[in-house]
Amino acid sequence: MISKQERAQISEDATLGAGNVIHRLKAYGRPLDEQVLWTDATWQAPDGGHPGVLTLGELHETVEIYASWYHAQGVGPRDPVAIQTWSSTEFAINFLALTSLGAIPSFVNGNLRPEIAREYVRRQGAVGAITDHAHHAVLARDRAELGLGFCVTAADIRAENRELPRPTRTPTTPPTRSSSPTPRAPPVCPRPCRTPTKPCCTPSCTG
């Protein structure tokens, strides 16, 4: 639960957007030891463990590590990155990391037949992919044909990646697209849309 004061702070934060929400929470002074993400215990953390829950500080550090790794692979604004996994934790962490770069997380249904999943990723124009072990062979086998610059699992993103150059955080980012064959980013709103009662300056912006 958050207090009325914190809600007011959030609604008045003109710099808040999908791409920097985890960083703004830290800037608000939220306790770093507060538990914020309960995992499915299948996701492998950068330190090699399988934590059952992440604190705000641990989640922030993990997102920074992932974002630094993606940045080092050349992922930038509006680049689609495919994510195929059974782990809800992986979807959440990769969403936060990729949107902080302005990139587009492209969620791939784990139940798709391999040939359909590959065609979906190809039509998305994904620059790379991250999967769990169960789905890795689906995309890794045809990586070159699919135009993927990388196809990795969580085990490839290690704690030492925090030493990579830190990317610039992006306040507002295009939303994920899971129902369209090609991700089309809407115009980016010059300021985040702060409350449902204040209409956005661009009809398609979901910031």
Residue 3: both structure tokens together: 């207090």
> What are the tokens at 161?
């990646």
Is the pLDDT at 62 greater than 90, yes or no?
A: yes
Evaluate whether residue 27 is within a structural domain. yes
Residue 195 in any domain: the answer is no
150/118 Cα distance (integer angstroms): 14
Please report whether residue 168 resides in a domain.
Answer: no
Tokens read off for 177: 């697209």
Which residues constitute the domain of residue 36? 10-163
List the CATH number of the domain containing 119: 3.40.50.12780
* The 151-153 sheet, strands edge to edge: 104-107, 80-84, 128-131, 151-153
Confidence of residue 168 (pLDDT cuts 50, 70, 90): low
* Dihedral over Cα of 155, 160, 164, 169: its sign: positive
129 closest CA partner among 102, 109, 148, 155: 148
In a domain, residue 65? The reply is yes
Strand-pair partners of 38: 53
Q: What would the DSSP string read from start to end of 19-56?
A: TTHHHHHHHTT--TTSEEEE--S-SPPTTS---SEEEH
In the prediction, which pLDDT does 186 show? Answer: 36
- Across the chain, mean pLDDT equals 82
Lowest mean pLDDT among 37-41, 44-48, 158-162: 158-162
| Closest residue by Cα to residue 140 from 44, 149, 69, 109 | 149
Asked, for residue 111, whether it belongs to a domain, the answer is: yes
Q: Count how many domains the chain has.
A: 1
Whether residue 181 lies inside any domain: the answer is: no
- Kindly state whether residue 36 falls inside one of the protein's structural domains: yes
Output the pLDDT for position 76.
Answer: 94
> What pLDDT, in 10s, does the model give residues 133-159?
999 999 999 999 999 999 999 999 998
With bands split at pLDDT 50, 70 and 90, how would you rate the model's confidence at 104?
A: very high
